[in-house]
Amino acid sequence: MSRYRLLAASLAIALSFNAYAAATEHIEFWTMSLKPKFVPYFDDLVKRYQAQHPGVEIEWVDFPADLIQTKLVTRIVAGSPPALVNLNVPWADEYARDGLIVPIDSLLGDGKSSYVKAALDDLTFSGKTYGFPLYSNVTVIAYNTQLFKQAGLTRPPQSLDEQLAYSVQIFEKTGKAGFSPSLAKADGFMLQQGLPILTDGKAAFNSPQHVALIEKLAKAYKAGGILKDSLFAEDNFPAAIAAYNGGRLAMLSAPPTAVKRIQSDASDIYAITDIAPAPLGPTGIVDGGWLIHFAVPAGVNPKLMPEVAKFARFITDDENQLAFAKLANVFPTTIAAANDPYFQHLPPNAGASEKAVAIGAESMKRSRTLYVAGIEDYDELRRALVNAVEAGVTGKRDPKAALDAAVVIWNKKLAKQAH
Amino acid sequence: MKRALGHSWQAYLFLAPALILFAVFSFWPVGYGSYLAFTDYSLIKPAHWVGLDNFRYIFDNAMFVAGLKNSLLFLLIVPAIQVGAMALAVLVNNNLPGIRLFRAAFYVPVVTAISVVGIMWGFMFHEQGMLNYVLMQLRLVNQPVGWLSDDAIALFSVMFVTIWRGLGWYMVMYLAALQSVPAEMQEAAILDGANRWQRFWKITVPMLMPTIMVCTIMSVLAALKAYQEVLVLTQGGPLNATFTALYYAYDQGLKHLKLPRGLAASFVVSLCCIAIMLPCLRYFRPKHR
C-alpha cells in the first residue's frame, strides 16, 4: 500500500512541477555596460515586475558594449535569443536590414503615444518601428574656467567657428589643447553642420562647403588647438576625458554622464568646470544624440511575445525611465518623464553635474542620432570618409583631393548596391 | 609483415587522442573555415558557394591591400629578432653574478599580457610620453615625435613592440641550444688555436642551425600573423598605416561579423605563410643526413 502511496505522491509532485514549469514564462533581457553600477536599480525593477506578474521569471544579463553584438548574433544563430536587447540606432538599422531584429509596432500598441516622437522616428526603418526607446543622451560642453580665464575668454563658444577660434587662442596662451571633436564620426559631424553625405544616392561630401569645413579643422589642428590624442580613433572619448581630467584639454564635448565622471575622478578639475550648451549647427540639431533602446531579436518564441511586450513597456514606462535617468544622468524618452520638473529646473547652488543635466534637457529637444541609414557595409564606407578627413585635417593630403578619393570609393560601392 | 602491421596499429592507437584533438580543434576548423571563405555564409543564413567573390572583394579593398603590404613589411622584424635574440643568448650564457636576473628580465615581456603591453607602450609612445621626454631632454629631437600618430613611423613603432615582446622567447630557445653545444668541441678548437670568433662561426652557429630554423619559421609566422599589437596600440591607424592583413581579417570577421571576408583574408595570409615557409624549410634543410 505504502508503495502505491509513494508512487502517487511522486506523480503528484511531478505533475505539479510540470504545471509550474508550464506556467512560468522566462524572459531574458540584455543591457549594455550597466553593471555593476545599476545592479540595485535592475534588481529592484525585476523584483517589482515579478511580484506584479506571478508566473513570469525575469533574468537580467549585462554585457560590455564591445561584446554584446557577438553574443547576440551567436544566441540568435543558436536559436535561443534573449527576449529583449539593448542596442543603439546604427546597430538596430543594420540588424533590421539583416533580419536579426523584428518590428515591434504590434507590441507597442497604445503605448506608442507615450514615447517622444523623435525617439520613435530614430527607430523607424522602412516604415516599421524596431525598438522600445529607453534613454537618450546629448552633448554639452564642460569647460575649464581657469584655462578660459588664462586665455582671456569670458564666455563659452556659441558656434563651431568660435569653438575652433577659442581652441587656437587657448593653445597660444596656455599651451593646452582647446577641444577634441569626435572626427571618427565624420559623417555625423558633417550632417550636424548641415552638409549632406548623400545626394540622390551618390556621395556628396566633396563640395566646396565640405572642403571648407575640413580646412577649418586643419587650421586649428596645425595651430595646436585640437587635442591629438586618439583624435581619429573609433572612440576618442576615453582620451578626451583623460586629457580634460588631467587639465590638458579646455573643452570637453560630452554627455552629462561624463560630467559625473569628472566629479568622481578629478574633483579638482570638477571644481573649476562650468557647463554650456553644445553649439547648434546650421541645422539646429545638437550633436551627440545617442538613443539606447530595447529591440526584440529574431527567433523569440511567438507565444512569449505578449509578455515580452508587457515587460518592455514596463521597463521603459514613465516611472522607470525617470528613475533610471536620474540615476544615470541621461534623458528619458517618454513624454511625461522628459517633462518632469527634475529636468526643467536648476536647483539652487547647483554644481556642474546638475547644470549639465538641466542644459542637456533643454538641448534634448533638438537632439537626433546623426548617421546615414540603409547602406550595406556602412562602417567600411565611413572609414574611407574618416581616412579622408584624417588626411585632410593632419595635412597629409589636400582636403579636396582626399575627399574626392573617398567619394570615388563610396560611389563605386553604392553603384554596386544599386544593381 | 603481420607483426609490423600490429605494431603500427598500436602506434596509431597511442596517437589517436592527440590526432582526435587535432582533428576537432585544428583540421576541421581550418578545412571548414577555408570552405566558408568561398561562400556567402552569414551566421543566420545557409552558406551558398560564391566562388572567388570574397577574394575579389578583399583585393578590391584598399585596407586589405595596405594590410597585406604591411604584413609583408612586418617580415623585417625576423632578422632583427633573430640576431637580437642570439646576441642576448650569447650574453646571458656567461656565468656572471646576477645573470639569472637578466635572463628573467628579458623573458618578462613574453609573459606580459597584451593589454598591459598596449597601455604601457601607449604611454611610452604618447606625444607627451616618456620616450619623447627623454629624447627632448637629450636634445635629440626638437619637437615630440608622433610614434603612433605619424603614418610614416607608426608601423615601425608597432614592429618594435613585437620585437620587444618576442625577444625573450627566442633568447630562451637559443640559450637552451647554446647550452647543448658540447664543451669538448670548444676545448678541442681552442687547442687547435681557433679564436673566439672562429669558434662561434665554425662550431656554435652550425650547431645552432636546427634552432635557427625553428626560430626563423616561428618568427616569420608571428610577423605575418601580427595583429594583437595593432589592436591594442593603433587599431590600424593612422591612415591605415598599421593595418595588417590579419587585423583586417579580425576587423571583418569578428568585429563586423562579415565572416566569409575575414576567412578569405585569413586564407590569403595562410597562403603567404606557406609560400614564405617553403623556401625557408628548403634553405635550412640539413645538408648531411
Mean predicted confidence (pLDDT) in B127-143: 91
Which of B119, B127, B256 is most worth mutating to test chain A (most A CB atoms within 10 A of its CB)? B256
From chain A, the residues in CB contact with B238 under 8 A are 232, 390, 394
pLDDT for the residue A20: 47
Place of cell 609483415: B1
Please give the single-letter amino acid code of residue B280. Answer: C
**pLDDT cut 70: percent of chain B above it:** 97
Whether residue A2 has pLDDT greater than 70: no
Residues of A contacting chain B (CB within 8 angstroms): 69-70, 73-74, 76-77, 98-100, 228-229, 232-234, 248, 298, 377, 379-380, 383-384, 387, 390-391, 394, 396, 409
Same fold, A24-133+292-339 and A140-288: yes
Whether residue A85 has pLDDT greater than 90: yes
pLDDT for the residue A284: 84
Kindly determine whether residue A396 and residue B146, on different chains, have CB atoms separated by under 8 Å.
no
Contact between A65 and A33 (Cβ < 8 Å):
yes
Q: Is A364 helix (H, G, I), strand (E, B) or coil?
A: helix
pLDDT for the residue A405: 95
Q: Please provide the DSSP assignment of A373-408 as one string.
A: -S-TTHHHHHHHHHHHHHHHHTTSS-HHHHHHHHHH
**A19 — pLDDT class (breaks 50, 70, 90):** very low
Query: pLDDT for A41-76, tens place per residue?
Result: 999 999 999 999 999 999 999 999 888 988 998 899
Compute the nearest-CA separation of B44 from chain A (Å): 6
What contacts A193, CB < 8 A, 6 or more positions away? A160, A213, A281, A282, A283
ipTM surpassing 0.85, yes or no? no
The shortest CB-CB distance from A99 to any of B44, B63, B240 is to: B44
- What proportions of chain B, in percent to the nearest 5, are helix, strand and coil? 75, 0, 25
How many residues are there in chain B?
289
Higher per-residue confidence, B96 vs A52:
A52
Q: How far is CA A63 from the centre of its chain?
A: 15
Nearest to B64 by CA among B277, B258, B261, B272: B261
Average pLDDT over all residues of chain A: 89
Whether residue A17 has pLDDT greater than 80: no
Alpha helices in B180-258 (DSSP H): 183-191, 196-199, 205-224, 228-233, 245-250
From chain B, the residues in CB contact with A377 under 8 A are 258
Mean predicted confidence (pLDDT) in A346-357: 85
Whether residue A369 has pLDDT greater than 90: no
Q: The CATH number of A140-288 is which of 3.40.50.300, 3.40.190.10, 3.40.50.1860, 3.40.190.150?
A: 3.40.190.10
Domains of chain B: 62-284 (1.10.3720.10)
Q: Give the span between the Cα atoms of A182 and A235, in whole angstroms.
A: 8
Kindly determine whether residue B126 and residue A229, on different chains, have CB atoms separated by under 8 Å.
yes
Whether residue A23 has pLDDT greater than 70: no
Nearest to A381 by CA among A217, A198, A167: A198
Compute the nearest-CA separation of A341 from chain B (Å): 42
**pLDDT cut 90: percent of chain A above it:** 61
Contact between A123 and A87 (Cβ < 8 Å):
no
Mean predicted confidence (pLDDT) in A165-178: 96
What contacts B254, CB < 8 A, 6 or more positions away? A70, B262
pLDDT for the residue A24: 80
Whether residue A324 has pLDDT greater than 90: yes
**C-alpha grid cell, residue A180:** 577634441
Q: Give the span between the Cα atoms of A250 and A314, in whole angstroms.
A: 41
From chain B, the residues in CB contact with A234 under 8 A are 235
Q: How far is CA A244 from the centre of its chain?
A: 21
Compute the nearest-CA separation of B43 from chain A (Å): 6
Query: pLDDT for A113-146, tens place per residue?
Result: 999 888 898 899 889 999 999 999 888 999 999 9
For helices A208-222 and A160-174, angle between their N-to-C axes, nearest 10 degrees: 20
DSSP A225: -
Compute the nearest-CA separation of B209 from chain A (Å): 44
**Residue A156, Ramachandran bin (φ over 0: left; ψ between -120 and 50: alpha; else beta):** beta
Query: pLDDT for B13-60, tens place per residue?
Result: 999 999 999 999 999 999 999 999 999 988 777 889 999 999 999 999
Kindly determine whether residue A390 and residue B237, on different chains, have CB atoms separated by under 8 Å.
yes
CATH code of the region A24-133+292-339: 3.40.190.10
pTM of the model: 0.81
The count of other CB atoms within 10 Å of the CB of residue B119 is 13
Whether residue A91 has pLDDT greater than 50: yes
**A171 — pLDDT class (breaks 50, 70, 90):** very high
Whether residue A16 has pLDDT greater than 60: no
Kindly determine whether residue A228 and residue B240, on different chains, have CB atoms separated by under 8 Å.
no
From chain B, the residues in CB contact with A78 under 8 A are none
The shortest CB-CB distance from B235 to any of A73, A234, A390 is to: A234
Kindly determine whether residue B146 and residue A77, on different chains, have CB atoms separated by under 8 Å.
no
Nearest to B150 by CA among A231, A384, A252, A379: A231
Q: Could you state, in order of their start, the residue ranges of all structural domains in chain A?
A: 24-133+292-339, 140-288
**A5 — pLDDT class (breaks 50, 70, 90):** low
Query: pLDDT for A293-321, tens place per residue?
Result: 999 999 999 999 999 999 999 999 999 99
Whether residue B283 has pLDDT greater than 90: no
From chain B, the residues in CB contact with A379 under 8 A are 256
Query: pLDDT for B176-197, tens place per residue?
Result: 999 888 888 888 989 988 888 8
Place of cell 603590404: B69
**Residue A153, Ramachandran bin (φ over 0: left; ψ between -120 and 50: alpha; else beta):** beta
Contact between B231 and B249 (Cβ < 8 Å):
no
Whether residue A22 has pLDDT greater than 60: no
Higher per-residue confidence, A288 vs B255:
B255
